[in-house]
Amino acid sequence: MGFGDTFGYFLYTSDNGNDYVIKLSQADATAGGFGAEVNPLNFSAWPFNQRDLRHVTGYDVNFRARKGRLVIASNTDTLFTNGGTWTNSNTNITYQTQGAEGERRPASHIGG
């Protein structure tokens, strides 16, 4: 995400099967395998912190010190299960996947 990014609301299906709406940049939504934008009034918002969403982390293939994080739409997505590369279309930076982290649901919303 950077200056001039376009944002939208997208449907995120949790590991427990519930659907939630989250806000992402168009570039991240495309790279993360999200479908079309949805009306945020039709779904519940993700009740936890954004960092608790399922995601992959990686490093820039041309400048290894630059790291990236990408929220993934499904736990069956190839990027999440097998790794690979993804490109942020706004910045034209290609990242190599280093790891994948499943979603986290803290026991408490307060301080968790």
Residue 34 lies in a domain: yes
Helix (H/G/I), strand (E/B), else coil: 96: strand
Q: Which residues contact 42 (CB under 8 A, 6 or more apart)?
A: 21
Residue 2 lies in a domain: no
Residue 24 lies in a domain: yes
The per-residue pLDDT for range 8-20, each reduced to its tens digit, is: 999 999 988 899 9
**Alpha-carbon distance values, 31 to 16, 64, 103 (Å):** 23, 20, 18
Residue 47 lies in a domain: yes
Range of the domain at 87: 7-101
Q: How many domains does the chain contain in total?
A: 1
The per-residue pLDDT for range 47-101, each reduced to its tens digit, is: 888 888 999 999 998 887 888 899 999 888 999 999 999 988 778 889 999 998 8
Residue 95 lies in a domain: yes
